Chain A
Amino acid sequence: MVADDVVFCKGGGCTAKLGSAVLEAVLAKLPQQDDPNCLVGFATSDDAAVYRLTDDLAMVQTLDFFPPMVEDPYTFGQIAAANALSDIYAMGAEVKTALNIVCFPETMDLNILGQILLGGQSKVTESGGVLAGGHSIQDVDVKYGLSVTGIIHPDKILTNVGSQVGDVLILTKPLGVGIINTAQTVGEASAAAVAKAIASMTTLNQAAAAVMHSFEVHACTDVTGFGFLGHLHEMLDDRLSVEVDAAAVPVLAEALDLADEFMLTAAAQRNRNHLEPFVQFDGVPFAVEEVLLDPQTSGGLLFSVPEAQASAVLAALEQLDLPSGLVGRVTKRQAWEIVVR
């Protein structure tokens, strides 16, 4: 069955993302535009762009699409949508409209496309947004995603980079879905592991974002293709450091077993190479290192709150059955930007 579906599903999800080193090099060459109403743009490699419309209203825009990482088209649609919507939540914003973006082979069964779009729409509806259109082109491989627009008060934007010394970091989904998806393509993942990964990837970050709004959140991002450590690195903005408590990081247990069986993706190794100058692993098991570098598709929110509020945040997340963890502490800049213990 895996072999038959190989055209639909090969190395998909956020594993397909361009490496951040390559991307940074290209983006650095684009001419900079200077519009004071563009509150969040290229400069900070943030999750979404934010444009101020009036003093109390800003528009948040994001676009995300990728090849399938699961066999079932409806599930793929749901995951792609949950992943695209997540960027809106990571900015602290509210979803309003979404547009589909589709690449689909002319020769493939259109019912598959129908299932993908239905899955996507189900998540847009769950988010409270409206699916308002889209664009599709022929391509040799399937790709799907959405461009989502949300709104936010300009004073309430949560960027990647506002963390303060004394904050703690909270992650709201378990890591390891990339390894499990990859293992599935080579027939090595158990059905139970795949089911857990799918349940995690199809979960909207909406509820976790709602929890954030009751607390003093200084920075937020969502964990996707650059892996937990890659997105953490972006949050530190060359001025802070973090001590990561590896044991507290929520992880899908099967992903650790599969990492020990060397389900090693190219994307995770690219993440490792990119992060090499910044990360010190101090006595961390190999499988944990791999999971911390594993590209996540539709991963959780990673946000920074003052330590005094951490237990209340975790209690609120636990009430919602979101497998979260207090994964690290923000300190002033140390010799190593990130130390994992």
Chain B
Amino acid sequence: MNVERRVVDGRGLQCPRPVIQTKRVLRELPHGVVEVTVDNEIAVQNLAKMASQMGLPWSSQTISEQEYVVEIRVGSAAAGGESTGTAGSVETADAETAAGAAGPAASDSSPQASRQHSHGTSLSSGAADGGPTVVVLAADRMGEGDEQLGRTLMKAFVYALTEADTVPDYVLLYNGGVRLAVEGSDCVQDLSVLADRGVEIMSCGACLSFYGLTEQLAVGAVTNMYAIVETLLGAGKIIRP
């Protein structure tokens, strides 16, 4: 089947303009894919919010710090699997909209304020076995022993996570673990890949502040002890390397 593609260039435009332009194109297009290029991540989040509200699957890709591409599927392109994106991203994006349509009860286990953050690839495992999977990174190195080896192992661990078939729902970083998510860390790129796969990356705000790294946070969101406790209590599985 031929999928009609429409392109919206939202670079240089302030919100809500890229969102409004995309909305107009989506409403004209019964079936197809709308590809929107924007120059900031907030615009990506706003486009994602709109797509989720419309019940349309979407995915996003970071080209550079000033270039992001969001794809939104409509009509048969939303239902079908063929596309430039991975099959997984389409399926799970549908799962997300289905969860939204089923009402708030369906997603009680995850912080609802954050649902616009979930990329099209999230909720792959969800609450199937009693609660979300949480990976806790409480230090910037893995295991006891040589420090350098510990750092290398941690980098390898985070990379291996990105390659896993089923990614966790959350990666929680606290104490020295927050160093992994700040500028200059070897793990930022892999954590970003996880974020793109729908993993919520959450760093402890007090810890960032303690190490003077608040401004250097390069991936994911800031969280607090209450949310950490809530996330751990609600977890189906907690993995601490």
Contact = CB atoms under 8 A, between A and B. Distances in A.
A276 B15 contact: no
A270 B221 CA distance: 12
B230 A276 contact: no
B117 interface: yes
Interface stretch (B45-53, B74-82, B126-134, B184-192): B45-53
A278 B50 CA distance: 22
Interface string A264-282: 1110011011011111111
Interface string B102-121: 01100000011110110000
Interface of B is mostly: helix
B72 to A, nearest CB: 12
B15 A186 contact: no
A279 B53 CA distance: 19
Interface string A164-177: 00000000000000
Contacts of A5: none
Interface in B1-46: 14-17, 19-20, 23, 40, 42-43, 45-46
Interface secondary structure of A, over-half rule? loop
A280 B15 contact: no
Contacts of A281: 104, 112-113
Contact of A261 (B23, B45, B205, B224): B23
A11 interface: yes
A280 B103 contact: no
A264 B14 CA distance: 10
Nearest to A258: B16
A282 B215 CA distance: 31
Contacts of A10: 14
Contacts of B40: 266
Contacts of B43: 266
Contacts of B202: 277
Nearest to A265: B15
Interface string B206-241: 000100001100000111101101100000000000
B16 A277 contact: no
Nearest to A334: B226
Nearest to B209: A28
Contacts of A283: 103-104
A182 B16 contact: yes
A250 to B, nearest CB: 22
A337 to B, nearest CB: 7
Given A11-B14, A28-B209, A264 B46 contact: yes
A25 B208 CA distance: 10
Interface residues of B, number: 36
A281 B112 CA distance: 6
Contacts of A269: 15, 42, 45-46, 49
A277 B221 contact: yes
Contact of A262 (B23, B42, B113, B221): B23
A276 B17 CA distance: 24
Contacts of A25: 214-215
Contacts of B230: 335-336
Given A262-B20, A263-B16, A283-B103, A28 B113 contact: no
Interface in A124-168: none
B117 A276 contact: yes
Contacts of B112: 280-282
Contacts of A28: 209, 214
A11 B222 CA distance: 27
A337 B215 contact: no
Contact of B50 (A264, A273, A276): A264
B113 A264 contact: no
B224 A278 contact: yes
Interface in A234-289: 238, 261-266, 269-270, 272-273, 275-283, 286
A106 interface: no
A213 interface: no
Contact of A276 (B42, B53, B111): B111
A186 B17 CA distance: 7
Nearest to A270: B42
B113 A263 contact: no
Contact of A273 (B15, B45, B226): B45
B16 A262 contact: yes
Contacts of A272: 45, 113, 116
Contacts of B226: 277, 333, 335-337
Contacts of A276: 111, 113-114, 117, 221
Contact of A21 (B104, B111, B222, B223): B222
B36 to A, nearest CB: 13
Contacts of A318: none
A286 B49 CA distance: 9
In the A-B complex, the 3 residue pairs with the closest CB atoms: A264-B46, A283-B104, A266-B15
11 contacts: A10-B14, A262-B16, A262-B53, A266-B14, A266-B40, A266-B46, A269-B15, A269-B46, A277-B221, A277-B223, A282-B112
Given A238-B224, A263-B20, 19 more contacts: A10-B14, A25-B214, A25-B215, A28-B214, A186-B17, A262-B23, A263-B16, A264-B50, A266-B14, A266-B15, A269-B15, A269-B45, A269-B46, A273-B117, A277-B205, A277-B221, A278-B227, A335-B230, A337-B226
